[in-house]
Structure 1
């Protein structure tokens, strides 16, 4: 295994010798919480993040994801209208106040869920897509593992208490990320602060939307069993954070705690892109190839999040098994770049060949054989 352990030249210019500054440790009264930097994927805070818990209305994000996906696939459209069933109209709790037999568009039902957290609207959407709420729950459970939701199971479209209805805060954060990334055309709905249906205007229950901290989504939740929770996202500049909390005591505590944690995440950490996807990072020696070296690149942007000031003390090293035997295909995995930043675990990003290298001809084979003989002669003399 070869390792280029000195500071890379480009990074020697980028990084100075600033002193390391660690982020202060945070605790939270929430039963479970996770705070993630969306650009880098770094977890800034976690508490019981993988524990399956009652999600209350926060699980309506899965209902919304399924509907967004159906619209994008052409199975539904925002203009489609459906007649409200007695089952949908009968729901209590948070309501859009649709009536049995009333014809409502998908666009209005979506706002009824996103802004008003309407249980009736969520069931109406489920029935529109799957014919029944039970059928919709089955679709959700089939789709969940495909999305990477490993600690989630759905019994309904609303988050209504049920022993078989649960999600982890980590799964909720992943789902929020997927909504933002997969459906940018629908995400602005989550920032709408009010919606009026049938003469009844309701305010968005998300307490962070008007807090002036860059929040633009996503969903609150509350039942007696689940406590008060929130899936929130905020963006400042190029940084976007995803915060999920569950099990807080009341609405006031939910607002204070989520605003505090979101501000802390932006203040105490920074995110920086070190390399762009496709940018040459290093070169690896090639064994009997048409070229003697092959440039190495990352298949994706290399982005890190760390306590404020500590990225300036980062050291990077490139590791690969070499020389790499030809032929080499472009995009083939060759090694990794390790990013060592004080006070956080070392991160490793795979490196791939930036171009193809064919096998060398007779001359290359002769040169390789001569180098091998010389190594053996030197090794014998040293012995």
Structure 2
């Protein structure tokens, strides 16, 4: 980790931003790097930084990659205690015919009418991409697949998926069943960070079921020794070959989504190449130590006129390996900030970029101390100062 001394140019300005919705606007494709994928995104979830993107917001047919949303709903139900891993769901005729043996699609061949453990169903979906397993889970949790799909759409909106709409639980062809690769990356980040107790299902290489079937993980990169521990493959004629990958090396994790590739070999080689590029081309730099003040933000109606801003622990940036350490930065918040303020309240965002990269780091900043409300007279003085000089003092 490089020290803050390497940041030779650091300009911190308090900037009023009435509409921060554009903070994650489209980023430029790094010069000199291209991909065969029709749609792609590579992100570092820890730094909340997109390293590369290509048509990342276009709605695509996600195929089985949308099963990640199905599993997210199941994981949420497990974490909430509404279901348990050793509970069982019965295989309905609809699940058996639509996604099981008669369907001719990826299945775990759950017998019609049998009770199946949720733990087995999860392995069937994560390892084998079982369409019958997805429907069985959906019906077991919500009563009908239709009701479960509503849960998927509601949960997707809750976690910030903006280009996704789900029609079924398994990703089989259906009009209006769409996602974007950016949404798939956001969903994958959510799975990694919110459900660490269930995330290892995605790294499981094999699943032996009923002593009759041994299913091998369809994600080829799980078998490669490159740090990949998830997440999901997808293929339909309409969308080509796709893959959502998550890889960790040391303290750094990358999430990659590609789709629209021509065959399995191209999907594997292109995903491997993009992950290697990401790990080699970007490295973390230390900007501020834990507890170190980044700047101050103006306070209205407080016992103090400014509140110190700090990060949540150490503040690290992800910059190109060729970076000189020269960065530009700005602090963005809607101000002035009204007292009272509690230590730990999120106040602002630190936006940092390097001359060598079009990518931008966006880091939350928090109040470093409590600021109590002032008396009526002091609030009146603050109001006069704002009217006279504006709030950027």
Aligned to 1:121: 133
Distance (whole Å) between structure 1 residues aligned to residue 332 and residue 213 of structure 2: 62
Partner of residue 147 from structure 1, selected from 151, 155, 159: 159
1:50 aligns with 2:43: no
Partner of residue 343 from structure 1, selected from 339, 350, 356: 356
Q: CA deviation at 1:285?
A: 8.6
Aligned to 2:119: 107
Unaligned runs of 5+ in 2: 10-28, 386-393
Q: Decide which moves more: 268-277 or 41-50.
A: 268-277
Distance (whole Å) between structure 2 residues aligned to residue 262 and residue 230 of structure 1: 12
Larger radius of gyration: 1
Unaligned runs of 5+ in 1: 1-9, 373-383
Give the superposed CA RMSD.
3.2
1:355 aligns with 2:362: no
Distance (whole Å) between structure 2 residues aligned to residue 204 and residue 32 of structure 1: 24
Q: CA deviation at 1:23?
A: 6.8
Summarize the alignment of residues 218-367 of structure 1 with structure 2, pairs less than 5 Å apart: 218-275=231-288, 278-282=291-295, 294-298=307-311, 302-310=315-323, 312-315=325-328, 329-331=341-343, 337=350, 339-345=352-358, 347=361, 349=363, 351-357=365-371
Alignment size in residue pairs: 349
Indicate conservation of the 8 Å contact 1:169/1:244, yes or no: yes
Q: CA deviation at 1:140?
A: 1.2
Indicate conservation of the 8 Å contact 2:61/2:178, yes or no: yes
Give the TM-score normalised by the residue count of structure 1.
0.81
Indicate conservation of the 8 Å contact 1:327/1:356, yes or no: no
Indicate conservation of the 8 Å contact 1:289/1:325, yes or no: no
Distance (whole Å) between structure 2 residues aligned to residue 288 and residue 98 of structure 1: 64
Distance (whole Å) between structure 2 residues aligned to residue 325 and residue 225 of structure 1: 50
Distance (whole Å) between structure 2 residues aligned to residue 87 and residue 286 of structure 1: 60
Give the TM-score normalised by the residue count of structure 2.
0.79
Aligned to 1:133: 145
Distance 1:25 1:69, change over 3 A: same
Per-residue CA distance 1:324-351 (angstroms, 9 max, x = gap): 8996634467766553411335656564
Q: CA deviation at 1:86?
A: 1.2
Distance (whole Å) between structure 2 residues aligned to residue 295 and residue 220 of structure 1: 46
Partner of residue 215 from structure 2, selected from 202, 205, 211: 202
Indicate conservation of the 8 Å contact 1:96/1:121, yes or no: yes
Aligned to 1:66: 73
